[in-house]
Protein backbone atom coordinates (compact mmCIF):
# COMPACT_ATOMS: atom_id res chain seq x y z
CA UNK A 1 0.00 0.00 0.00
CA UNK A 2 1.51 3.28 -1.01
CA UNK A 3 0.77 6.53 0.74
CA UNK A 4 0.26 8.15 -2.64
CA UNK A 5 -3.03 6.37 -3.24
CA UNK A 6 -4.41 7.58 0.08
CA UNK A 7 -3.16 11.13 -0.43
CA UNK A 8 -4.69 11.59 -3.85
CA UNK A 9 -8.10 11.81 -2.16
CA UNK A 10 -6.91 14.00 0.72
CA UNK A 11 -6.88 17.47 -0.79
CA UNK A 12 -3.36 18.23 0.43
CA UNK A 13 -1.26 20.66 -1.57
CA UNK A 14 1.92 19.63 -3.40
CA UNK A 15 4.25 20.80 -0.62
CA UNK A 16 2.32 18.85 2.00
CA UNK A 17 2.29 15.77 -0.22
CA UNK A 18 6.07 16.01 -0.63
CA UNK A 19 6.61 16.35 3.14
CA UNK A 20 4.37 13.37 3.87
CA UNK A 21 6.01 11.31 1.13
CA UNK A 22 9.44 12.07 2.56
CA UNK A 23 8.25 11.12 6.06
CA UNK A 24 6.67 7.91 4.74
CA UNK A 25 9.75 6.80 2.82
CA UNK A 26 11.97 7.47 5.84
CA UNK A 27 9.62 5.60 8.17
CA UNK A 28 9.59 2.58 5.89
CA UNK A 29 13.38 2.68 5.70
CA UNK A 30 13.74 2.86 9.48
CA UNK A 31 11.21 0.09 9.98
CA UNK A 32 12.89 -2.00 7.27
CA UNK A 33 9.63 -2.38 5.34
CA UNK A 34 10.60 -3.08 1.75
CA UNK A 35 7.44 -4.88 0.72
CA UNK A 36 4.89 -2.20 -0.20
CA UNK A 37 2.16 -4.85 0.01
CA UNK A 38 2.82 -5.40 3.70
CA UNK A 39 -0.32 -4.26 5.58
CA UNK A 40 1.91 -2.38 8.02
CA UNK A 41 2.79 0.10 5.27
CA UNK A 42 -0.85 1.21 5.13
CA UNK A 43 -0.90 1.74 8.89
CA UNK A 44 2.27 3.84 8.62
CA UNK A 45 0.74 5.88 5.79
CA UNK A 46 -2.42 6.57 7.75
CA UNK A 47 -0.44 7.60 10.83
CA UNK A 48 1.67 9.98 8.77
CA UNK A 49 -1.42 11.58 7.23
CA UNK A 50 -3.07 11.83 10.65
CA UNK A 51 0.00 13.58 12.07
CA UNK A 52 0.29 15.92 9.09
CA UNK A 53 -3.35 16.90 9.57
CA UNK A 54 -2.44 18.28 13.00
CA UNK A 55 -0.32 20.91 11.26
CA UNK A 56 3.11 19.29 11.71
CA UNK A 57 5.27 20.25 8.72
CA UNK A 58 8.69 18.75 9.47
CA UNK A 59 9.07 15.39 7.66
CA UNK A 60 11.60 14.12 10.22
CA UNK A 61 9.22 14.93 13.06
CA UNK A 62 6.25 13.40 11.23
CA UNK A 63 8.30 10.24 10.67
CA UNK A 64 9.42 10.05 14.30
CA UNK A 65 5.90 10.59 15.63
CA UNK A 66 4.48 7.93 13.30
CA UNK A 67 7.06 5.38 14.44
CA UNK A 68 6.42 6.30 18.09
CA UNK A 69 2.66 5.86 17.67
CA UNK A 70 3.18 2.59 15.86
CA UNK A 71 5.20 1.27 18.80
CA UNK A 72 2.38 2.27 21.18
CA UNK A 73 -0.08 -0.02 19.40
The pLDDT assigned to 51 comes to: 96
Using the Cα atoms of residue 18, residue 38, residue 61 and residue 29 in order, give the sign of their dihedral: negative
pTM for the whole structure: 0.89
Q: Which segments of the chain have a pLDDT < 50?
A: none
Query: What pLDDT shows up at residue 1?
Result: 52
The pLDDT value given to residue 9: 72
* Pair 51, 62: CB distance under 8 Å: yes
Amino acid 22: pLDDT:
96
Q: What is the largest CA-CA distance in the chain?
A: 30
Amino acid sequence: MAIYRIMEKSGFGPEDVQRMSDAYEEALRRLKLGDRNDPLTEIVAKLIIEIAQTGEKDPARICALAIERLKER
